[in-house]
Amino acid sequence: MKKKIAGIVIAMAATILLFVPEQAQASNRYSVVNPDAGNYDVTGSYAQIQGISWNYSGNGINIEAPYVSSDANPQFKWEAYNLSTKEWTTIQDWSESNQTEWHGEIGQNYWLHCTIRSSDGRVSSSYTMCFHYTATEVCITGTYSGLQGMDLLLGATTSDPNANIKFTTYYMGGGWNKLDEFSNCGNWVTATAAANPFRVVYEAYAPDGTLSDVIIYEFTLVNYPWGLA
């Protein structure tokens, strides 16, 4: 569930675009944004974690911390706190890489903690998120979002043909406002086009019902023919 939130531009017609923020990448799995992102003084030295992103990789999880820094070579340290054993584990000690692979214990709950510091050690900040470790090889391998008439056609594939795919759309004006939800409907569903901006959440569940993978994309419909705001 990797990388910074992804960007795709799909031409639907001469004047219709379905747009995902350009910093996103197709390899995105799932991302959590630091609510304090952007709160730093750009006139001085700064180093800030913007959130944490992750994706499944076999029996491990690739984790990455998008960041901003006035330092060209900031350093990162990754740690995990097991809420059951009450023990800290160093995933990756200080390094110039903002990504690494994590192998936790399946079914355990963690605080996943990343710290960034400037190369001279004078500026630092950190970000922590809760994480239920469910590394699995059942992953979402592809997604589709596009217009079909006046509706949205959504599709997804997984690494396990027996997995259940769940599609949920949300209007993001003032928070997560659920619009449509589809489960046990196969690989394709048709959803109602939403007012801007809106998000599509793709979830893959293993045959035993365990949530295995999640992908979230945020879209804005531009020059939509029936005038969404």
Domains 9-29+139-222 and 32-132 share a fold: yes
Nearest CA to 167 out of 139, 201, 133, 143 is that of 201
CATH number for the domain formed by residue range(s) 32-132: 2.60.40.10
pLDDT at 41: 59
Work out the pLDDT band at 21, boundaries 50, 70, 90: very low
9-29+139-222 to CATH, choices 3.90.950.10, 3.20.20.70, 3.40.50.300, 2.60.40.10? 2.60.40.10
Give the tens place of pLDDT for each residue, 143-196.
998 888 778 899 999 888 888 999 999 887 777 888 889 998 899 999 887 667
For residue 59, the SS3 value is: coil
Q: How far apart, in whole angstroms, are the C-alpha atoms of residue 226 and residue 98?
A: 43
Query: Residue 52: left if φ>0, alpha if ψ -120 to 50, beta else—which one?
Result: beta
- Considering the chain, what is the average pLDDT of its residues? 76
Report residue 38 CA to chain centroid gap.
Answer: 18
Domain-wise residue ranges, the chain: 9-29+139-222, 32-132
